[in-house]
Structure 1
Amino acid sequence: MAENQEGASSEGNPAADMYPKKILEYMEGFLISKTVFSSCELGVFDVLLAAERPLSAEEISQAIGASLDGTERLLAACAGLQLLNTHRDNGPVCYSNTEQASVYLTRSSPVSLYQSIQYSSRTIYLCWHYLTDAVREGRNQYEKAFGVSSNDLFQALYRSDEEMLKFMQLMNSIWNICGKDVVTAFDLSPFKIICDLGGCSGALAKQCTSAYPECTVTIFDLPKVVCTSREHFVTEANQRITFHEGDFFKDPLPEADLYILARILHDWTDERCIELLTRVYNACKPGGAVLLVEALLHEGGSGPVTVQLYSLNMLVQTEGKERTAAQYAALLTAAGFSGTQHRLTGKIYDAVLGHKET
């Protein structure tokens, strides 16, 4: 009798033989993130790049000033994540960087993601601790994460000079990798005078002047951002890039043929987006255009999952959200722009172009 009951129980529970592999991977995803974050913070990949030969765990632990036991575990995990190569000769296991680690995880690389990783670890990760609260409340979590009011979004985002520089370094690293793709998604050569609103570190402006030798770019941003960009990112030798200080919601915008808003509109509500785009439309020369650079959701919001996660990040960090191409087109139309098109780049960020009729 008991045997029959056991068999019936097994048949009535089809999940009994299932293994929740994907769910377990998702549960442990943060372990991978923090392994990468800590390895960069400790300088593991920099030490291996400088050594120019495989190093043992003991050599690496001494170089980064960490315990041997902790270093051995960290290196083993990095090797398992295919960020490090292992070398087993007669002596102890030695480690070297994979090609991707050398290119993207070392501080000295021109396309390094090191600063982006530091911002993810020390700012975004802390905000995500309060994701449950963000979902319940429908607002960002700067007050809980950092003890600062978010009534002025960029006062919270740039809550210290150090934090502002970290954010600018994040943007710089992103556009060093993705910038060329978004500024060449459309042929922008007809537009000679370009204004990059919220141009931050100037990395996207540099991509524009490289792709279109006849254009000039004005970076429009807050005074303290402009000051930091001049000090750390854009040299005076680059005469095709100039600066204009101001708040794009309050101050007059420079007249231009093309305005670029890269990772700007996803910070704001639809109402604020239309307000800003209307200001851009009024300043734009007839026959000019606006280029939006954003991570686009599929129509209906069904993916990509990366962009869906970015939209959650907008919830914990900003007032905005990620949108579909059609939703951005609707915002542009509401502001007066027409003939909207979009292009997918195959990378993180895509491009949407709206025109002002002559």
Structure 2
Amino acid sequence: MDSPEASSPDAGRYPRKILEYMEGFLVSKTLFTACELGVFDVLLGAGRPLSADDVSQAVGASLDGTQRLLAACCGLQLLETHQQNGRVSYSNTEETSLYLTRSGPATLYHSIQYSSRTIYLCWHYLTDAVREGRNQYEKAFGVSSKDLFQALYRSDEEMVKFMQLMNSIWNICGRDVLTAFDLSPFKVICDLGGCSGALARQCTSAYPECAVTIFDLPKVVQTSREHFVKEADHKISFIEGDFFKDPLLEADLYILARILHDWTDERCVELLSRVHKACKPGGAVLLVEALLYEDSSGPLTAQLYSLNMLVQTEGRERTGAQYSALLAAAGFTDIQYRLTGKIYDAVLGFKEK
């Protein structure tokens, strides 16, 4: 006769997915810590596999802690192991060298730093954010969030970190969102909130006939000129201003990349109406955002980003139809949106001729 346990409807079940979700933050912090210590940089610079002892000395960490960290990185398939004469050594995978080292051509290092030192701390207060319906900068960092970007750019160091984050994202996703539609007819382009110019550089690369003016806050422009702008970027210029308050220059195309998701619907329509007024007849606006499915079933990344907007901003991620409604409310027509298959998607709306 079967025991009660054997006949239970739960017998043999194992909540693998739930356990993986419970431990998801362990994975993130393992990745963050390896980057912060410079483990992947040391392995890349060595040009050969290194032992745990070699790595621990190079990064200034305990041997025991380094051994455990390296083992976990192997389990995450971020490192490869090599055994010779009973001695274990480690090396980067090709993907790790490309994305997780500071000098990698498509590095996400700065994005990881920002996730670890800013976003992770805000997410500690996610429960409060859900209960209160507002961002958590005050609890996380002791700064008022009455002015969103005063909180976001609460120090020069934090501003540079945020701008480096934007650079790393557009190096990976920028060309896809800019080529989702044919933007070649637009020669005079204004990138509102274009930050350090990473997306603008992708734009002038994809469309060599265009010129891009970045419109951003004065201290963002000054920091961009100091840390990010290259003299070779002669097709990229800057204008200092607040796009909610100051006059916008006339252009054929306006790019708002990861801008509207920071704001409420009312503020979005306010900004888009200002863009519509400044836009040349027959011109357009390109929105770059992580689009949610219309039935709210996904994608998971955009759903999680929407929670991040809750803990960090006044805004949210939206569906293509919701962005279309915002554009239409501001006067734009012939609105289309396209998925890229990556993190960010594209929405295009036109001003009638």
Q: Shorter-chain TM-score category?
A: over 0.9
Show CA shifts across 1:35-68 (max 9, x none). 0000000000000000000000000000000000
What is the CA distance between 1:16 and its match in structure 2?
3.7
**Counterpart in the other structure of 1:355:** 350
Task: Give secondary structure in 1 for the equivalent of 2:280.
Answer: strand
What is the CA distance between 1:10 and its match in structure 2?
5.6
**Counterpart in the other structure of 1:318:** 313
Counterparts of residues 332-347 of structure 1 (less than 5 Å): 332-347=327-342
The partner residue of 1:65 within 41, 45, 60 is 60
Given the alignment of the two structures, is residue 196 of structure 1 paired with residue 191 of structure 2, yes or no?
A: yes
Q: Which amino acid aligns with 1:27?
A: M
**Counterpart in the other structure of 1:119:** 114
Given the alignment of the two structures, is residue 30 of structure 1 paired with residue 36 of structure 2, yes or no?
A: no
Q: In structure 1, what is the Cα distance between the partners aligned to 2:250 and 2:75?
A: 53
Q: In structure 2, what is the Cα distance between the partners aligned to 1:280 and 1:62?
A: 55
Given the alignment of the two structures, is residue 102 of structure 1 paired with residue 97 of structure 2, yes or no?
A: yes
Q: In structure 2, what is the Cα distance between the partners aligned to 1:98 and 1:298?
A: 34
Q: Which amino acid aligns with 2:308?
A: N
Task: Give secondary structure in 2 for the equivalent of 1:341.
Answer: strand
The TM-score with structure 1 as length reference comes to 0.97
Q: Which amino acid aligns with 1:128?
A: W
Q: In structure 2, what is the Cα distance between the partners aligned to 1:230 and 1:340?
A: 35
What is the CA distance between 1:15 and its match in structure 2?
2.1
Segments ≥4 residues shifted beyond 6 Å: none
What is the CA distance between 1:240 and its match in structure 2?
0.6
**Counterpart in the other structure of 2:171:** 176
**Counterpart in the other structure of 1:278:** 273
The partner residue of 1:19 within 5, 9, 14 is 14
Task: Give secondary structure in 1 for the equivalent of 2:87.
Answer: coil
What is the CA distance between 1:91 and its match in structure 2?
4.1
The partner residue of 1:165 within 150, 160, 167 is 160
Task: Give secondary structure in 2 for the equivalent of 1:301.
Answer: coil
Task: Give secondary structure in 2 for the equivalent of 1:251.
Answer: coil
Counterparts of residues 239-258 of structure 1 (less than 5 Å): 239-258=234-253
Show CA shifts across 1:59-80 (max 9, x none). 0000000000000000000011
Task: Give secondary structure in 2 for the equivalent of 1:354.
Answer: strand
Q: In structure 1, what is the Cα distance between the partners aligned to 2:222 and 2:329?
A: 34
Q: Which amino acid aligns with 2:146?
A: N
What is the CA distance between 1:300 and its match in structure 2?
1.8
Task: Give secondary structure in 1 for the equivalent of 2:202.
Answer: helix
The partner residue of 1:214 within 209, 212, 217 is 209
Identity %: 80
Structure 1, unaligned runs of 5 or more: none
Deviates more, 1:16-25 or 1:220-229: 16-25
Q: In structure 1, what is the Cα distance between the partners aligned to 2:321 and 2:267?
A: 17
Q: In structure 2, what is the Cα distance between the partners aligned to 1:193 and 1:309?
A: 35
Q: In structure 2, what is the Cα distance between the partners aligned to 1:19 and 1:50?
A: 42
Given the alignment of the two structures, is residue 234 of structure 1 paired with residue 229 of structure 2, yes or no?
A: yes
Task: Give secondary structure in 2 for the equivalent of 1:32.
Answer: helix
Q: In structure 1, what is the Cα distance between the partners aligned to 2:225 and 2:6?
A: 69
Deviates more, 1:229-238 or 1:34-43: 229-238
Task: Give secondary structure in 2 for the equivalent of 1:256.
Answer: coil
Show CA shifts across 1:130-160 (max 9, x none). 0000000000000000000100000000000
How many residue pairs get aligned? The number is: 353
Q: In structure 2, what is the Cα distance between the partners aligned to 1:102 and 1:115?
A: 14
Q: In structure 2, what is the Cα distance between the partners aligned to 1:248 and 1:300?
A: 32
Structure 2, unaligned runs of 5 or more: none
Q: In structure 2, what is the Cα distance between the partners aligned to 1:243 and 1:198?
A: 10
Q: In structure 2, what is the Cα distance between the partners aligned to 1:284 and 1:301?
A: 32
What is the CA distance between 1:110 and its match in structure 2?
2.5
**Counterpart in the other structure of 1:307:** 302
CA RMSD, aligned part only? 1.1
Q: Which amino acid aligns with 2:311?
A: V
Task: Give secondary structure in 1 for the equivalent of 2:151.
Answer: helix
Given the alignment of the two structures, is residue 136 of structure 1 paired with residue 131 of structure 2, yes or no?
A: yes
Q: In structure 2, what is the Cα distance between the partners aligned to 1:322 and 1:40?
A: 28
Q: Which amino acid aligns with 1:62?
A: Q
Q: Which amino acid aligns with 1:224?
A: K
What is the CA distance between 1:354 and its match in structure 2?
0.2
Deviates more, 1:233-242 or 1:271-280: 233-242
Q: Which amino acid aligns with 2:203?
A: C
